[in-house]
Amino acid sequence: MNQQAIKELLFKMADDALIIGHRNSEWTGIGPMLEEDLAFSSMAQDKIGHAQALYKILNENFGEAEPDSLAFKRDEKSFTCCHFVELPIGEYDFSLVRHFLFDHAELIRYEYLTQSSFLPLAQLAKKVKGEIKYHVLHADTFLKQLAHGSEESKARMQSALNNAFPFALGIFEKGVFENDVINEAIFIGEDALQKEWLNKIQTIVNNFGLSLPTVKDTATAFGGRKGYHTEFLKPLLEEMCEVTNLDLTAEW
């Protein structure tokens, strides 16, 4: 099996999960209501857990560093997360819509990965599929509620969708080894994933009385998979790695 292809997939998935997990954890303590503060924080922890599990596969199967080192001791350029997860949390409407768009893609991705020819990934996908099912349920229920709430809440959901959607397309930016990933049945590929995701969210968004914006240049949010990031990633990494960087040789 093409090791580079599997590593590319594992790294981008892990980096996405780590960065969105870190981002969403920024809501801890300032969430819109106590119950949601807790739920959102808890899901952010789940994402960090997915990142850890994926880094662990990289560590155990491909001789990469320990998960902690992969998370906290890499430079910005070696991260392959998409721009979408790097963006600041904004107001709650944006974070909620990002959660909706991102987790629908995650759910479909992990469902296909349960069939992956790379067994460690298939096993992980089977293990965490229930978690992601809940993340999607949470996002759908909240979006539905707010899309049918007041005039302001509906307008906020629509405008958050308009802002977030072009960036969400960056999730599906292909890496160098995309064809190998598909040919070796590791994963069905980003194009197929995007198509299925688009169908799914289009239906839901319409059911909720909202609409998806039209995007002329779908490559606007590309670059992340090749190590080119938004201005927001560096400060995030600096903050996330602040404690580790105090003493790089410390044992935890």
Partner 1 sequence: MNSLDPRIKRLDLKNTEEGEVHTNSHLITYEVFHQEKRGKQVMHVGIVHAPSPEMALILAKEQYARRGKTTNLWIAKSSDIFTFNSEDEDIFETTPDKTFRDPGFYKVRDRIEAFQKRNNLKV
Q: Point out which residues bind partner 1 (CB under 8 A).
A: 33-36, 38-39, 42-43, 133-134, 137-138, 140-142, 144-145, 148-149, 203-204, 207-208
**Residue 234 burial class via C-beta count within 10 angstroms: exposed 0-12, middle 13-18, buried 19 and up:** middle
User: In angstroms, what is the minimal distance from the CB of 228 to partner 1?
Assistant: 35
User: In angstroms, what is the minimal distance from the CB of 31 to partner 1?
Assistant: 11
| Tokens matching residue 209 | 């009385």
User: In angstroms, what is the minimal distance from the CB of 176 to partner 1?
Assistant: 36
Ordered alpha helix ranges (H), the chain: 3-25, 34-62, 67-72, 83-86, 92-113, 119-147, 151-168, 178-183, 190-207, 233-240, 242-246
Minimum CB distance to partner 1 smaller for 95 or for 116? 95
* Residue of 105, 95, 228, 226 whose CA lies nearest to 163: 95
Spatial contact of 43 and 132, defined as CB atoms under 8 Å apart: no
In single-letter form, the type of residue at position 183 comes to: N
Minimum CB distance to partner 1 smaller for 35 or for 75? 35
* Residue of 80, 95, 86, 76 whose CA lies nearest to 36: 95
User: In angstroms, what is the minimal distance from the CB of 200 to partner 1?
Assistant: 9
User: In angstroms, what is the minimal distance from the CB of 150 to partner 1?
Assistant: 8
Minimum CB distance to partner 1 smaller for 145 or for 218? 145
Spatial contact of 190 and 108, defined as CB atoms under 8 Å apart: no
Minimum CB distance to partner 1 smaller for 58 or for 210? 210
238 alpha carbon, distance to own chain's centre:
20
Minimum CB distance to partner 1 smaller for 172 or for 208? 208
Minimum CB distance to partner 1 smaller for 35 or for 247? 35
User: In angstroms, what is the minimal distance from the CB of 6 to partner 1?
Assistant: 31
